[in-house]
Amino acid sequence: MSMMTELTYSSYNSKKETGMVGLRNQGATCYLNSLLQSLFFTNAFRKAVYQIPTEDEANKKNSAWTLQRLFYSLQTCETPVSTSELTESFGWKSRVIFEQQDVQELSRLLMEKLEVQMKGTPAELALPNLFVGKAKTYISCINVDYESSRIEDFWDIQLSVKGNKTLDDSFKSYINVEIMDGENKYDAGSSHGLQDARKGVIFESFPPVLHLHLQRYEYDFNRDAMMKINDRHEFPEEFDASPYLSADADRSEPWEYKLFGVLVHSGDLNAGHYYAFLRPTKDGHFYKFDDDKVIRATNKETLEENFGGEYANGAGMRQPYTRNYSTKRSMNAYMLVYIRKSRIDDVLVNVGNEDVPAHLAKQVDEERSEAIRRKKEREEQHLYMNIAVVSDDSFREHHGFDLMSTDLDPGDPALPTTYRVRRTMKVGEFTQLVAEDKGLDVERVRLWAMVNRQNKTVRPDQPLRDPEDTVETAAFKLSSRAAPFKVYAEVREPGSDGKVVWPETQGPNASVLVILKHFDPVTQTLSGVGHVFVKKQSKVSELAGPILQMMNWPAGTSFSLYEEIKPSMIDQLKPKQTFQASEIQDGDIICFQRTQSESELGPNVLYKDARQYYDYLLNRVMIKFAPVKPESDDSTFTLALSRKMSYNQFSAKVGEYLKVDPTHLRFAPVATTTGNPKPFIRRNVAHNLSQILTTQYSAYGNSGQRNDALYYEILETSLSEYETKKLIKITWLPEGIIKEVYCCPGLLFIVPFYFCLGACANIYYFIQQPFELLVPKQGNVTDILQGLQQKANLDNEVMQNVRVFEAHYSKMQKELTDKFGVAGIMDTISLYAEPIPEDEQNMKEGDFRINAFNFDKEPNREHGIPFKFVVKPGEKFIDTKERLSKRTGIRGKQFEKIKFAVVSRAMYSNPTYLEDGTPYPLLKRTSLKKTANTI
């Protein structure tokens, strides 16, 4: 780089100069790029990655598959390769991509992922055989024969830079022996007691590929921050690792290592850049891999300039990323890659395209070819133009305004056929192409230029008369310049003599091209039919012959005619007027509708004439309907409705789809932010669908709602009757509170004053859904009980002694009498009904009732269902617990996990926990009176 000018660097071709390509930087992924290049040129690793089976999991979430693609691209591409697929497979978001990560941690995570995916494959042991060594951690007694040790695998070694001038110094520091004596003696067990000992780490073996991480960062207590260490630290091109091995290590093969990679960081902890110097071949040169550039490097650039330390001239230089002056180099090595000299041939094994999985190479090559094709297409785009061809075949499949629509799904038969042709193609040649595509003789096809009219419709305007014009010239002369070129393909049948005669479209009484559509009120469809030619001076009624023939209707069939001027203007034509008087010109659309009686149409026809249906098309909107309470996957559906539909009309459409009486449906808007139902819409015949869906209609209180979706609910009764009643949700508790309780680990119940049940660990109960009852708004609790009896199928005997009570925040509020009006029951409370327990019905003198609730650790963390409980003064608490078990329905080991306490009603009071075998004096009638006897 130092020998290149800025111009030559920007135009530098790595592949041409070095035969290798770089990796594109996504923002701050230079650290990843340097590591990936290092692993790529560890050929045995690359070969092992190719051996991972990915054919059945070829997707972007599979990191092995994305790494295979990345390596194959590095192996075969001519330009820098993107790492975005790989980072996406890691699950990285864009925020992570712009943050520098720890290279050692990243390397280990990648190895772990790959090791899992290599299990059971030919490459299962490839990674450990390449990167794993063994180290022994030991404590050895000096004066007795006793040693404690363990041997562990390592994937890399972290070596300290601070205080160590060379790599050898760092290794010696790593295996330095600590003497444990004095107060720090080692406990050698009962047989030897406290002993002087040596404590340290020694290596048993090193891997063929040795990754050394130089600790260039440490915590500075004075600055209270992590700081980079730029001290000089020399590392050799070759070194002997045997001095760092234990005496028992295998020395049958030399432990000499040769440098093949130097990963460098330039800058400081907060800002900087990563790049790598790698030796791709056994005896080759080093190359600098700096993101997308690969440049040959010298040994001095690789070693000397990355030792760190002071600059040679001592004057100091501005750091390139922090812009601060320093006498120390900011660029220095942070990771070294050495390969054992005796294993170099095994590690740098030749990897060719034959090692790449066939399915992967095929897919990548196809994608590359497609990318080249698209690039060529973009480069040649100025030479080509697109022409959309509308035919009678596509028109007959069209059911909307004009002759065509461009917002349909690909493959829809109503879409015009688009041709991409050279701008220099002659009109005659293009006509030949269209005819051949349709299997017709070219003499039978005539093309009409379509134009965008001022009323924003698109219609055929005039034929392409000069076959020698280029298509570009024809489009320039006859079509709208701002819009893509569209043509209508007119197809004509030959005459009796086999010749095709085209109607003359010029002159005072020339033929006019009229496009015909048919509206069928029974099926509620508008469809293209075809085209006819009429004389300007002919009467509109003369269309009867062609229409009857096209539709195969009997003679005398009457019908109405409408001109489709634009979507918002549909005029009925007068049969006795001429086409010229009716201002009919080439490309105009006339819609016809057969005259039918009311009985023929039937009662369910919504749009009885073409004008009404066109108005529907103009106001058509797709509305998604979903049930308030989902019952099945197909309960959500979408309907095409008109914004002008009244409440009754769109309700009828939904009822027709659901096959339910529309009077038994009600609807709720959808909240924009949460997607939850908002308050139900009140039925108002004066409001249409547009008003209901529009947030400005504050009468519904529905600001912030979606304008393309509604929730629906199927009612048991009609909506009009429903609106005279109040919805009551009540939970029936036939066996204590067990039917409704859901307890998580470590919950507390308490017994009153607030008598509370506590500490349910791992107890899970079925949660019973409340019954929904419709009760007259003027009704009372008696009506609720009658509805509950019917819904829950309860007999009369059970209903003789039933209590109804309100709860709020899991605390009992009040017990409701039979005459209590439902209008006074708030929607925010929980309503419960239960049989009154026998001990309440048979209370003895001195007994009294208290309210009980459940809490989790703190009394203000209530949960579950509260209940009434009878207190018997003087009773031991162990006997009370037995009654509590029966009252709540919780038994056995689950009940044993519960704690009990008395809680005063006073705010912030602490619970007083109760023990077995003792009475609970706090629950006296007098004290309860003072605390209002509530939980």
Q: Cα separation of 291 and 9, whole Å? A: 13
Supply the DSSP string of 259-305, one letter for each residue: EEEEEEEEE-SSSEEEEEEE--STT--EEEEETTEEEEE-HHHHTGG
Two tokens at 92? Answer: 């990285």
Nearest partner of 76 among 337, 344, 278, 369, judged by Cα: 369
Give catalytic status of residue 213 as yes or no: no
Q: 3-state DSSP: the chain helix, strand, coil percent, rounded to 5?
A: 30, 30, 40
Give catalytic status of residue 285 as yes or no: no
Radius of gyration of the chain measured on its C-alpha atoms: 43
Nearest partner of 854 among 900, 816, 891, 895, judged by Cα: 900
> Long-range pairs for 158-162 at CB < 8 Å and ≥24 separation?
158/104, 158/213, 158/215, 159/212, 159/213, 159/214, 159/215, 160/215, 161/214, 161/215, 161/216, 161/229, 161/231, 161/233, 161/308, 162/215, 162/218, 162/229, 162/231
Q: Cα separation of 744 and 761, whole Å? A: 6
Return the sign of the alpha-carbon dihedral for residues 58, 62, 64, 67.
positive
β-bridge mates for residue 297, sequence order:
286
Nearest partner of 167 among 342, 339, 336, 343, judged by Cα: 336
Rounded to 10°, the helix 358-379/63-76 angle is 60
User: Among the options 30, 141, 756, 760, which is catalytic?
Assistant: 30
User: Among the options 211, 273, 518, 863, which is catalytic?
Assistant: 273
DSSP 878: H
Task: For residue 797, count CB atoms less than 10 angstroms from its CB and return exposed for 0-12, middle for 13-18, buried for 19 or more.
Answer: exposed
Supply the DSSP string of 720-755, one letter for each residue: HHHTTEEEEEEEE-SSTTTTT----TT-EEEETTTE
Nearest partner of 735 among 544, 867, 823, judged by Cα: 867
Task: For residue 292, count CB atoms less than 10 angstroms from its CB and return exposed for 0-12, middle for 13-18, buried for 19 or more.
Answer: middle
Q: Cα separation of 585 and 579, whole Å? A: 8
The owner of tokens 């006509």 is 431
Two tokens at 525? Answer: 């469809």
Q: Cα separation of 899 and 896, whole Å? A: 8
Nearest partner of 2 among 309, 333, 298, 260, judged by Cα: 298
Q: Cα separation of 202 and 152, whole Å? A: 11
Nearest partner of 864 among 729, 699, 774, 731, judged by Cα: 731
> Long-range pairs for 115-122 at CB < 8 Å and ≥24 separation?
117/52, 117/62, 117/63, 117/64, 118/48, 118/51, 118/52, 121/51, 121/52, 121/53, 122/51
Q: Do the beta carbons of residue 670 and residue 710 sit within 8 Å?
A: yes
Q: Cα separation of 255 and 339, whole Å? A: 10
Using alpha carbons only, give the angle 544, 548, 554 rounded to the nearest 5 degrees.
Answer: 115
Supply the DSSP string of 326-390, one letter for each residue: ESB-SEEEEEEEEEEGGGHHHHT----GGGS-HHHHHHHHHHHHHHHHHHHHHHTGGGEEEEEEE
Supply the DSSP string of 424-489, one letter for each residue: T-BHHHHHHHHHHHHT--GGGEEEEEEEE-TTS-EEEEEE---TTSBHHHHHHHHS-TTS-EEEEE
List the catalytic residues: 30, 273
